[in-house]
Amino acid sequence: MPTINDVAKAAGVSPSTVSYVLSGRRPISAETRARVQAAIAELGFHPHAGARALASSKTNVIALVAPLRVDVNVPVIMQFATAVVTAARSYNHDVLLLTKDEGTAGLERVAHSTMVDALILMDLERDDLRIPALRKLKQPSVLIGLPADHTGIACVDLDFGAAARAALAHLAGHGHRRIGLVGPSPAVYKRQTTYADRFLTGFLEASVDLGLQTVTHPCEPGAEGVRSCMADLDAELSGLTALVVHNEEALRPLLDLLHATGRRVPEDVSIVAICPRDVATAMPVNLTSIDIPAHDVGTLAVETVMRLLDGRRVEYTRLLEPRLVERDSCREISASHR
């Protein structure tokens, strides 16, 4: 088992500094405290009962669990992380960022070491195996996502089902009746990541409600993945006049492909993107988009954590209403082209 000396060596501090971080008896700079906490998490150090007795009742640290899997969009994840860190600082809390995909083991190690007051989890799956483990922890948890069974655990997120409906309603209002969905990568669907599942369900339901002809396909990253996805969409539903793109990394290669094949945006193909605002406005065409509100969701997650730590009541499901911003990638089409 690792010792306090091992932690001190890994963090580049003295054993007494590690002890002060654990006990809270002396002020320690945020940078040093973060190094010690990271070393504790990495080594799996568990303070003995005496050390825990010395510890203060609060660490003023929140764990943000954001596994950087191969199929995640790291820049978007970092927008959420920045929002969580900024909001936590306003409550005089620091954030311990955990990016390794360790399942329940990582949660239990951090929680049992008494390093954090609460946990925020990202990249949730529909039947996420971490949920039962969270229910056994003494620290409260907040999920950025909406798994199938989240009883007793607070969840915050964008309402992705409503976002899909808003995108289709906007295109239908412009006369489009044959619409394709460029979805996330197959790996995201295979893991049943909640945001992708909820968006796809909303898209399919809205297609029926609005009387639209639609087709959906996952999209592998890169230009070849986009080319293959578009070939499948065109083969399954000829005469597509609009696309909903729920894949930030596909946007630029998609626009390049459409340009190379002589399909103009929005004259030939209208596009609604589901992505952060800065991504939508950085494209060759300013894209009509539904924003991924990383700042609002991250801030709300921290506010919910603070209410739980204070023993106040919270809403256990908070889904933010989608906001569509019209820019330059959608146009009205005549009845003869529908």
Residues 171 and 245 reside in one and the same domain: yes
pLDDT at 328: 96
Residue 168 resides in a domain: yes
Residues 285 and 301 reside in one and the same domain: no
Residue 144 resides in a domain: yes
Positive or negative, the Cα torsion across 182, 321, 171, 252? Answer: negative
d(CA 146, CA 125): 8
Say which CATH number the domain at 227 has. 3.40.50.2300
**Domain of residue 229, residue span:** 160-293+324-337
pLDDT at 120: 97
Per-residue pLDDT, averaged over 311-327, amounts to: 94
Percent of the chain with pLDDT over 70: 94
Residues 8 and 132 reside in one and the same domain: no
Residues 299 and 278 reside in one and the same domain: no
pLDDT at 338: 54
Domain count, the chain: 3
Alpha carbon distances (Å) from 2 to 7, 76, 80, 275, 292 = 7, 35, 33, 43, 41
pLDDT in tens, 147-185: 999 899 999 999 999 999 999 999 999 999 999 999 999
pLDDT in tens, 231-252: 999 999 999 999 999 999 999 9
Using the predicted structure, report yes or no on whether residue 50 has a pLDDT greater than 50.
Answer: no
Using the predicted structure, report yes or no on whether residue 140 has a pLDDT greater than 90.
Answer: yes
Residues 188 and 329 reside in one and the same domain: yes
Residues 185 and 229 reside in one and the same domain: yes
Q: What is the pTM of this model?
A: 0.81
Residues 112 and 28 reside in one and the same domain: no
